Amino acid sequence: MVPLAGDLNNEVTKKMFGKKGQGAMEYLMTYGWAILVVMIVGIVMWQLGIFNLGSSSVTSTGFSKIKPQLTSCKMTTAGVFSCLFTNGAGTAISVTGWNVNLTSGTQCSTSTTYANPINVGDNIALVASSCGLGTAGQAYSVNVYFAYTQSIAGTTVTHSDFGSVRGPYES
């Protein structure tokens, strides 16, 4: 029995599409795995700090209500950290305590006094010393913790705020 022209086309079409689909899948799998490996290696290198070439600007993370004014933040090579923080809590607050330490664990000495209450938008000037010596241009990272109270509808509520400030040591 001789296949009809239509039957021959159907067989050829099945074979042709089956091979193309397999080739496309092999292409995606090969390059997909290669891209995944490159991404994992890049993330590991980033986490190890290989791409950290120092910091030339001051940055911060955290701080939900009491925000640092980054242009005022400075760590001297003698280990004195100073920074202005702004009350962004929405109401007046009373700071009950705060501390600063390097991310390496070194606890800084804090001696700043402030006038409570601190109104919305007002600044708090904090100074901490004995944070550890550094070289100008070398990167530092400090953790800052605030404890404060707010009076809301006649009820006093206790809160805390935490974050990190990073930048270069300055002379």
Q: CA torsion angle for 85, 91, 92, 97 (degrees, to 10)?
A: -60
Say whether both 126 and 75 belong to one domain: yes
pLDDT, one tens digit per residue, over 79-98 is 999 999 999 988 999 999 88
pLDDT, one tens digit per residue, over 20-57 is 678 888 888 888 889 999 999 999 888 776 776 555 78
pLDDT of residue 53: 58
Q: Which of 9, 32, 51 is the last residue of a domain?
A: 51
Q: pLDDT band for 111, please (50, 70, 90 cuts).
A: confident
Q: pLDDT band for 4, please (50, 70, 90 cuts).
A: low
pLDDT of residue 86: 94
The residue ranking higher by pLDDT, 19 or 119, is: 119
Say whether both 80 and 96 belong to one domain: yes
Mean pLDDT of the chain: 85
Comparing 12-26, 29-43, 63-77, 130-144, the range with the smallest average pLDDT is 12-26
Say whether both 166 and 92 belong to one domain: yes
pLDDT at residue 7 tops 60: no
pLDDT at residue 5 tops 60: no
> Taking the complete model, does pTM exceed 0.75, yes or no?
no
CA 65/CA 146 separation, integer angstroms: 10
Say whether both 44 and 86 belong to one domain: no
Q: What is the CATH number of the domain that holds 88?
A: 2.60.40.10
Say whether both 9 and 92 belong to one domain: no
Say whether both 89 and 45 belong to one domain: no
Say whether both 39 and 108 belong to one domain: no
Q: Which of 12, 27, 51 is the last residue of a domain?
A: 51
Give the chain's end-to-end CA distance (angstroms, integer). 96
pLDDT at residue 10 tops 80: no
Number of domains in the chain: 2
Smallest Cα–Cα separation from 148: which of 136, 160, 133? 160
Say whether both 91 and 74 belong to one domain: yes
Say whether both 9 and 46 belong to one domain: yes
Say whether both 90 and 165 belong to one domain: yes
The residue ranking higher by pLDDT, 126 or 46, is: 126
Say whether both 139 and 96 belong to one domain: yes
Q: Give the domain extent around 23.
A: 1-51
Say whether both 103 and 144 belong to one domain: yes
